[in-house]
Chains A and B, each alone.
Chain A
């Protein structure tokens, strides 16, 4: 089985979720080629070999520096043809998921997104995927010869299994039509830990009372190396940027640790956090529904508990 992994980068660095995609493909046990597009750090490209890629392809065309959905789809199809690949693996993301769909359509491939485990291949080719916004799973048989698999965060563990490989340059054919949707600007927080990729998330709700009180949330996130998140009303009223909104209608996170402060735990919020490994809830109301979904809880005022928690984390380091 030949597998192509599309790896995404941000500011020249390969994303951790894409390393998981390489690890996933390696776990499937085929011949793995990784494809990176646009400007990417040479060391990051070579290191893909360590995580399981036998071959690294790089299309450095500057037109691919932005994640143009149609152009990326077309380049990936060309790379699959060049590599004679049966399977495409990539990480679910705002770019990966739409690209996966267009590639699958071009190839007549079976597609599964939000995949959480390696396929079972004893009878057919069966993947497990998360559905109902984390409230359930389904097992889906992928029947076509070609397959496109978009994995959810934590579907595979990144491990060093090999050595660096020298990247090979890949030169795709690009048509003007691939750039029909023109990206005119990108507005992005730089240097921040991105919420969908974070191992730890500290999230604040309406209990934080106002944007001017976010200092302790940000400080706790900083000492933990965490990303910051929030509940929907908090981003609706503009206390926090929209991309921090966690839940059913926002970002779905699956970190090792999710710390919720002043969030009541409405079912729509829980839908975005229920695949976290460990959940800590801090709320002044002992009856807040979030405690039922938590592993650890503290009943108390956020403005009293947070400073103590920040000190305790610092002391434990």
Chain B
């Protein structure tokens, strides 16, 4: 069994978001980068499957410049066997998906796991584009994934509930909790990650359909109005007459 896990390299969830160069570049000053939290679920599930099925290999792939390598090494420390970095700025969803599909098309992966969405650009589309490019099913957001031979049983979250599915391998899944518990690398993992293979490949050329013009920050929030807990009626009248939301 061969599993590919695609990971994004994104600002930690507690990061303050700022831009530079006249609001055209993300300001990475003081920002800590992590494996996307959803991608981390995908990786954790892949490792669980590997632990339960002898002979399974897990490859992680990131489309990114050299400074994403510490993030990739962390995925190796968590338990992936080897890694691929497509050496390019991941300029948009379609570009990233094309690189992933180009790598995957000749490798015979049984399962391609991703996060449901990146937490920087929140596209929620790379898994589905890859599925379409490879001509295989894509399912997202997947909250449960059990393998039964060459078949899988999945649960996909939908508004207000979930949908249960059966699908044959291979397919692409965009993962979210509670598919698995996040894994923390142990010392042995961290040591062995240093010597696991990390292959760097050059990107294919892609005609991009979108270009970024500018970033904006939301307007600053006004001050909070405090209301006494003995005067809850006042809150209701403010919501009605001032905020006009009731």
A residues at B contact (CB < 8 Å):
10, 66-67, 69-70, 73, 92-95, 97-102, 104-106, 108-114, 126, 128, 130-144, 180-189, 192, 194-197, 200, 224, 236, 242-243, 248-249, 256-257, 267-268, 271, 274, 277-278, 280-281, 291-301, 304-305, 308-309, 312-313, 315-316
Contacts and interface: CB of A to CB of B under 8 A. Distances in A.
A111 B210 contact: yes
B164 A186 contact: yes
Given A94-B141, A141-B210, A298 B215 contact: no
B240 interface: yes
A95 B164 contact: no
Contact of B132 (A101, A180, A308): A101
Contacts of A10: 159-160
B132 A114 contact: no
A141 B208 CA distance: 11
B79 to A, nearest CB: 21
Interface in B181-229: 208-218, 221-222, 224-229
Interface in B148-196: 156-168, 171, 174, 176-178
B52 interface: no
Contacts of A114: 122-124
A102 B174 CA distance: 14
A314 to B, nearest CB: 10
A69 B209 contact: no
B233 interface: yes
A101 B124 CA distance: 8
Nearest to A131: B121
B28 interface: no
Contacts of B233: 312, 315-316
9 contacts: A10-B160, A94-B140, A97-B140, A136-B216, A139-B213, A142-B210, A242-B177, A268-B14, A313-B236
B137 A70 contact: yes
B211 A182 contact: no
B209 A180 contact: no
Contacts, number: 265
A248 B13 contact: yes
Contacts of B246: 224, 257, 313, 316
Contacts of B54: none
Contacts of B137: 69-70, 180-181
A276 to B, nearest CB: 9
A118 to B, nearest CB: 16
B122 A95 contact: no
B138 A111 contact: no
The secondary structure that dominates the B interface is mixed
Contacts of A293: 221
B245 A297 contact: no
Given A132-B119, A136-B215, A188-B162, 8 more contacts: A102-B138, A109-B209, A135-B218, A181-B165, A224-B246, A243-B159, A277-B245, A291-B224
Interface of B: 11, 13-14, 17, 19, 37-38, 93-94, 97, 119-129, 131-133, 136-141, 143, 156-168, 171, 174, 176-178, 208-218, 221-222, 224-229, 232-233, 235-240, 243, 245-246
Contact of B160 (A105, A108, A183, A194): A194
Contacts of A315: 233, 236
Contacts of A128: 216
Contact of A298 (B17, B125, B227, B243): B227
What are the 10 closest A-B residue pairs judged by CB atoms, nearest first? A300-B229, A188-B161, A101-B128, A110-B209, A101-B125, A105-B132, A181-B167, A257-B245, A98-B128, A308-B232
Given A105-B132, A267-B14, A242 B157 contact: yes
B98 to A, nearest CB: 10
Nearest to A310: B232
B139 A181 contact: yes
Given A131-B120, A131-B121, A243-B160, A295 B243 contact: yes
B224 A295 contact: yes
Nearest to B40: A249
A298 B229 contact: yes
A249 B40 CA distance: 11
A98 B138 contact: yes
Given A67-B158, A184-B166, A243-B162, A297 B225 contact: yes
B166 A298 contact: no
Contact of A181 (B38, B121, B157, B171): B171
Contacts of A142: 209-210
A26 to B, nearest CB: 24
Nearest to B14: A267
Contact of B232 (A93, A131, A292, A298): A298
Q: Which of B161, B171, B208, B232 has the most CB of A within 10 A?
A: B232
